[in-house]
Amino acid sequence: MYAQLVETGLKEVQAAADMTAEEREFQARIDADIKIEPKDWMPDAYRRTLIRQIQQHAHSEIVGMLPEGNWITRAPSLQRKAILMAKVQDEAGHGLYLYCAAETLGVSRDQMIADLHAGKSKYSSIFNYPTLTWADIGTIGWLVDGAAIMNQIPLCRCSFGPYARAMVRVCKEESFHQRQGFDIMLTLCRGTAAQKALAQDALNRWWWPSLMMFGPSDATSVHSAQSARWKIKLLSNDELRQRFVDQTAPQADFLGLRIPDDKLAWNEARGHYDFGDIDWDEFNEVIKGHGPCNRDRMRTRTKAWEDGAWVREAATAHEAKRAARDAREAA
Amino acid sequence: MSSEWPLWEVFIRSQHGLAHKHVGSLHAPDAGMAIKNARDVYTRRNEGISIWVARSADIHASSPGDRAALFEPSNDKVYRHPTFFPMPDEVKHI
């Protein structure tokens, strides 16, 4: 998802017998659905895992602005430009809510940004694909934001208070993103044959990367099992992916678009859609930094950060000067 | 240079006369910029009509370890709640 393959640093799920008294008390609070707040005692592994997870999530929101920002000046009407700008601004806001939540765990903003730029901290694989046509903007809103909602709604109930509260805010805003995407698709699909072909082409390119967003099956993953016990991962990758396919397939039908998967079919007995195999080699390559846009995304982010350095320094210097003047006048 | 802008806690008052409520935090070089940033980060959808910001470093909070000492004494004073006193059905408007 927006946080993929988050490691807990543990080799096995901790059993009650191996826990200290503090750890047992901590787990009991989580089991009782009592939120953990920043000043509460927490195991180091819980803190470190959450920092990794929230940080990845925040980076994804920030890097996620790039493929869409790319289309602001080229959106087909003034209204579409204004809508896309509002959407991209929301993504910046989501990144900021999440960075704040991570900071309550004791990591600094500068450190997180340095880790992203150094390649030490990841962001979602999905943002390493290019946005070639206007239909890609529709598809991102419809599929990528749709997948994000699927993941984020359960996280509103996660055990860490600041993360859960950030997710509540994000979810309230995310629905606009998905609908604006679907509206673009609907407009294209009701347009000329060439416009509909654009929509189909975008779906062809984004479908599989969207399914990969949920990450590989984690049924046997120690990290996922431990994160589930800590209630910072509420549903498995496969459960979320299945929900996403079940929800999206009928929407594609409505648009009159074909999902590029020959094995996609409704399974009456399961009450779910069956779907084909995902190319995990592609996913692993993208995660390792070899996707179509990885280098470009990091170059753009790093440049923005470095180009903005003088502004940050000037604002700090200005405030220091003002404080010194106030102190002189008060004396 | 890598001196981070200080952290500010943001409080927003929504309409209908409710109190300011904590909504999150942000970094800003000074109070004026903190309010401008808070407007963009926390009130994009009409969430508020007033913003307070306070330096996080200036906020003093109770500690989780003091929870029992601070809050348990009120647990055994149930008579502070009106439902403690059963009222006969015949008695109205009380």
Using CA atoms, how far apart are residues B9 and B15, in angstroms rounded to an integer? 20
Q: What is the arithmetic mean of pLDDT over A167-172?
A: 93
Question: Residue A170: closest CA among chain B residues belongs to which residue?
Answer: B42
A134, A184 Cβ separation under 8 angstroms: yes
pLDDT tens figures, A246-291: 999 999 999 999 999 999 999 999 999 999 999 999 999 999 999 9
pLDDT tens figures, A297-313: 999 999 999 999 999 99
Contacts of A37 in chain B (CB under 8 A): 64
Contact A100 B26 (CB under 8 A): yes
Q: What is the arithmetic mean of pLDDT over A116-127?
A: 94
Mean pLDDT of chain A: 94
Contacts across the A-B interface (CB distance below 8 Å): 50
Using CA atoms, how far apart are residues A192 and A198, in angstroms rounded to an integer? 10
Using CA atoms, how far apart are residues B94 and B91, in angstroms rounded to an integer? 7
pLDDT tens figures, A170-192: 999 998 999 999 999 999 999 99
Residue B30 is nearest to which of A39, A172, A319, comparing CB atoms? A319
- The burial of A69, by beta-carbon neighbours within 10 Å (0-12 exposed, 13-18 middle, 19 or more buried), is given as middle
Q: Considering Cα of A217, then A222, then A226, then A227, what sign does the dihedral take?
A: negative
What is the DSSP code (8-state) at residue A212? H
ipTM of the complex model: 0.88
**What domains sit in chain B, N to C, each tagged with a CATH number?**
2-61 (3.10.20.520)
The pLDDT of residue A1 is: 60
Using CA atoms, how far apart are residues B72 and B56, in angstroms rounded to an integer? 28
State the DSSP string of A290-321. ISSSHHHHHHHHHHHHHHTHHHHHHHHHHHHH
Residues in chain B: 94
Q: What is the pTM of this model?
A: 0.92
Q: How far is CA A260 from the centre of its chain?
A: 24
Using CA atoms, how far apart are residues A79 and A77, in angstroms rounded to an integer? 5
Nearest to A60 by CA among A12, A127, A138: A127
